[in-house]
Structure formats: C-alpha cells, structure tokens
C-alpha cells in the first residue's frame, strides 16, 4: 500500500500526516488525528454522519473521500464551529429546539446545516428538508431539526426572538 505525506488544515490547525492510499478522510480524522466528533455511520455515503466542511462551506461525506486527495485543504468538523466557549448559532439552535436525541447524527446534521445556510441564509421549510437530504436521523423524526435550522437562520440574520 503506498503512503502519502499530506497536510490537512483541520479546524484552523495544520496537521502533517502520513496516510495510506486507501484511507478515507474519516479514517484519518478519527484514527490518526483523534477527532472522534465526526461519526462513522454507513461508510458508503448513505447516511451523512461523517459530513465535514471543506474550504469553508462545501459539505462532503468524509467516508467517501480519500485523505490523500485532501492535501492542503481546509477542513472543518463540528468541533471546529464554535468560537472559544461560544457555540455556533446552528449548534445553539439544535440545543434550544431539542433537535438532539442520541446525538449520533448531530455533528453531520449541524455541518450540513451550516453549509445549507451559507448558500441559502433564509431557507423555506421545504428548502431545509431538501438541503438536509442525505443526512439520516433515526431518532427525531426531523421536525425539530428543521425547526432548529430555521431558528439558526433567524439568529444569524439577527432577527431571533
Ligand atoms: S458514514 Fe459517511 S455517509 Fe454514512
Ligand atoms: S438524534 Fe439519534 S440519529 Fe439523530
């Protein structure tokens, strides 16, 4: 198996790592960089649990992305969204709207939501549902997640409450 030397900028910090050519970005985040917040669900691009942001606002399934192709790229996981002790408005909205049950889907859902709101800051309910397609939640029935994204949209526009 060939090896590759890559630098991954994860949550604002550069990491120089040696990755086998068959390792996914998800493998490297979890197993080599000890960042377990990005979840392994299906491993086949079906569930969205492993979603991360690349270059600010592009959401990708890290289980379907070879780490060797990510040299020099900027990657953000759910743990990288908060600023100091302050949660990202999407993270706060998921808490406020009780959009978390077991929490396994939550990092991926939050990341997908951040990407969605970057592209469409004021989405309709239908647009939120479409934007979250590919992210599966077995617990919540999605309604509270949709409400959380709508609340985050308002908060980010400065019109909450
Ligand atoms: S673990 Fe990547 S899409 Fe399910
Ligand atoms: S909260 Fe359990 S899978 Fe979504």
pLDDT digits (tens, 9 = 90+) for 81-99: 999 999 999 999 999 999 9
CATH 3.10.20.30 segments of the chain: 3-80
At residue 41, does pLDDT exceed 80? yes
Mutate to test the pocket of ligand 1, among 25, 30, 39, 46 (most ligand atoms within 8 A of CB): 46
Q: Are 50 and 61 in contact (CB under 8 A)?
A: yes
* Alpha-carbon distance values, 70 to 25, 49, 82, 134, 149 (Å): 8, 19, 23, 22, 29
CATH class of 3-80: alpha beta
**CA pair distance 90, 108, nearest whole angstrom:** 12
What's the CATH architecture for 89-156? Orthogonal Bundle (1.10)
Cβ–ligand 1 contact at 134 (below 6 Å): no
CATH 1.10.150.120 segments of the chain: 89-156
Pocket of ligand 2 (CB under 6 A): 100-106, 137-140
């Amino acid at each position: 198996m060939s090896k590759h030397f890559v630098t991954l900028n994860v949550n604002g910090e550069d990491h120089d790592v040696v990755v086998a050519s068959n390792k996914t970005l998800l493998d490297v985040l979890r197993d080599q960089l000890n960042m377990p917040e990005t979840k392994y669900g299906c491993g086949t691009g079906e569930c969205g649990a492993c979603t991360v942001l690349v270059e600010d606002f592009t959401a990708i399934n890290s289980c379907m992305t070879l780490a060797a192709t990510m040299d020099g790229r900027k990657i953000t996981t759910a743990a990288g969204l908060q600023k100091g002790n302050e949660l990202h408005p999407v993270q706060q909205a998921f808490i406020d709207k009780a959009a978390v049950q077991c929490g396994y889907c939550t990092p991926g859902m939050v990341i997908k939501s951040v990407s969605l709101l970057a592209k469409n800051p004021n989405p309709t309910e239908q647009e939120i549902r479409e934007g979250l397609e590919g992210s599966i939640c077995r617990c919540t029935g999605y309604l509270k997640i949709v409400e959380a994204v709508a609340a985050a949209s308002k908060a980010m526009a400065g019109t909450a409450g």
